[in-house]
Amino acid sequence: MSWLYASLSDGMLNQIIHFQTASAIWASLEQIYIAASFAWVSEVRTTLQNIKKEGLTTFAYLQKLTSLCNTLASLDNPVSPQDHLIYLLNGLGSDYNAFVTSIQARSMKPSIEEVHSLLLSHDARLDRQNADANLSSLHVNFSNLQLPKSMPRIITPTSSAPPYPTRVPHRPPFPKHYPSPCPTSS
């Protein structure tokens, strides 16, 4: 029994220290695990039933939903494909009513993977349409822009002098006493 005691955390050790046999310790640990597991399964199931896409990208929503389903499967309480589909569709907002209706109206329900793909495609289509609508709105706003009736008068110089200096001021001329950079042949 000492190896059991050595392998447990202090919190668990306090719960089983009064047992006299290894089988009694194992039975107690099993009951503790079952109770904790049931509580965790209940918590994850509740989260899964209440999950909403609100504020999440479609990809993040699908990842979160899949992660919760995988957690339940790891706790030996897998989610059926039908329940997975129900949770997925229930979490979508009113923007997706047409999508939800089209999936629910099918006589043969699609696989989860197919619904994920269709949902991502639907979302990409909505994004393109919103981008096109924003571009059209920008075009309309630009065409309604009031321009001045006359262009401002540009002032031109009246003299024949160029508008820029021909020589850089305050630059000394190249000294004549320096040798030429190219050797001359004599």
Average pLDDT over residues 81-91: 95
Average pLDDT taken over every residue of the chain: 79
The encoded tokens of residue 31 equal 């009951």
The encoded tokens of residue 37 equal 């597991």
| pLDDT > 80? residue 57 | yes
Please report, for residues 35, 65, 171, the alpha-carbon distance to residue 39 in angstroms, rounded to integers and kept in the order given: 6, 19, 86
Provide the whole-model pTM.
0.56
pLDDT of residue 132: 65
Instruction: Work out the pLDDT band at 151, boundaries 50, 70, 90.
Output: low
Residues with Cβ within 8 Å of residue 21, at least 6 apart in sequence: 1
Q: Is 98 found in the same domain as 29?
A: no
High-pLDDT (> 70) share of the chain, %: 68
Write out the DSSP string of 115-138.
HHHHHHHHHHHHHHHHHHHHHHHH
Q: Is 116 found in the same domain as 65?
A: yes
Residue 23 within any structural domain of the chain: yes
The encoded tokens of residue 87 equal 């949770």
Q: Is 34 found in the same domain as 90?
A: no
Q: What span, in angstroms and rounded, lies between the C-alpha atoms of 51 and 83?
A: 13
Residue 90 within any structural domain of the chain: yes
